[in-house]
């Protein structure tokens, strides 16, 4: 069956948006997703479906290149919003259904979008993370050493380390160890954040099921929320990642992510 796709970029992330609204086809199995990733070289695939709730414009599911399904992708959502906006969706905010709950998207002009990423979750059982109670930071044993980290969910689990500079943060070594740490039953995205000013930070992210990526939208949100809880930054914060810049604001219990989306190519394919 033929489905339409868009190859897109968002802050350096490679996103494949597959439009299955007309066919109402369920996503392929993990092995088929991995094959598609090899062919289209994407970090995440956004599988777009018709909405069940008439208040939603569309629904989507998120898959990493390794075939694993995840709860949310902030950069991928902007690509879905770009596709819908091109179809004539009004500039007023519109709602999408995601595995992590309803989110709101708004076109700011050009290819810039603001996305509501929902409320962060700090209770260990909701992340999920193994701990007796919620805390702004936790101490994790990592191969004989102890690291102080912030842990929260932005629809998916995040572990944030604050470092002096991201260049020497040891992402390749520590990222996989923390992703698979036994206190994260479902794994974790691992962010290495360096605060440069009250309104700016640098960030590198080792993404669960992917490895280090050029950018991670939910990772940027998690890093800013963690920094604000520790009173390290104000609001909003510009987050500089290897793939570009994102702006994060945490207000009225909702985290807002602002950034661009760019079309690279489009076509149709058999799945």
pLDDT along the chain (271 residues), means of 10: 90 93 86 91 94 92 92 92 82 84 86 91 97 97 92 96 96 96 96 98 94 93 98 97 96 91 91 75
Show Cβ contacts of residue 216 under 8 Å, excluding neighbours closer than 6 positions.
13, 74, 75, 189, 191, 205, 207, 241
> Has 216 been annotated as catalytic?
yes
Indicate the domain borders of the chain: 2-118+259-270, 124-251
Check: CATH 3.30.420.480 for 124-251?
Answer: no
Assess contact for 213 and 9: CB atoms under 8 A: no
What is the maximum span of the chain, computed from C-alpha positions, in angstroms?
A: 56
Show Cβ contacts of residue 35 under 8 Å, excluding neighbours closer than 6 positions.
none
Q: Do domains 2-118+259-270 and 124-251 have the same CATH topology?
A: yes
Catalytic residue among 79, 159, 216, 221: 216
> What confidence score (pLDDT) does residue 114 get?
93
| Cα distance between residue 68 and residue 146, in whole Å | 29
Q: In CATH, which of 3.40.228.10, 3.30.930.10, 3.50.50.60, 3.10.310.10 is domain 2-118+259-270?
A: 3.10.310.10
Catalytic residue among 73, 79, 159, 221: 73
| Cα distance between residue 193 and residue 178, in whole Å | 15
> What confidence score (pLDDT) does residue 91 get?
60
Rounded to two decimals, the pTM is 0.88
């Amino acid at each position: 069956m033929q489905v339409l796709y868009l190859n897109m970029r968002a802050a350096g992330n490679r996103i494949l948006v597959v439009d299955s609204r007309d066919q109402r086809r369920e996503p392929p199995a993990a092995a088929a997703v991995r094959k598609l990733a090899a062919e289209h070289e994407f970090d995440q695939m956004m599988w777009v479906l018709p909405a069940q709730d008439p208040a939603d414009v569309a629904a989507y599911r998120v898959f990493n290149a390794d075939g694993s399904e995840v709860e949310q992708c902030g950069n991928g959502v902007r690509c879905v919003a770009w596709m819908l906006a091109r179809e004539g969706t009004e500039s007023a905010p519109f709602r999408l259904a995601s595995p992590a709950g309803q989110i709101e998207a708004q076109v700011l002009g050009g290819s810039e979008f603001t996305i509501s990423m929902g409320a962060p979750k700090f209770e260990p059982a909701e992340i999920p993370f193994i701990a007796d109670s919620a805390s702004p930071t936790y101490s994790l044993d990592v191969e004989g050493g102890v690291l102080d980290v912030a842990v929260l969910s932005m629809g998916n689990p995040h572990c944030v380390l604050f470092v002096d500079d991201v260049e020497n943060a040891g992402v390749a070594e520590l990222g996989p160890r923390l992703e698979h740490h036994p206190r994260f039953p479902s794994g974790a995205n691992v962010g290495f954040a360096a605060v440069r000013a009250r309104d700016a930070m640098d960030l590198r992210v080792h993404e669960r099921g992917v490895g280090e990526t050029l950018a991670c939208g939910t990772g940027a949100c998690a890093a800013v929320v963690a920094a604000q809880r520790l009173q390290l930054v104000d609001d909003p914060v510009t987050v500089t990642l290897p793939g570009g810049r994102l702006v994060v604001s945490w207000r009225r219990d909702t985290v807002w992510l602002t950034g661009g989306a760019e079309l690279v190519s489009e076509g149709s394919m058999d799945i």
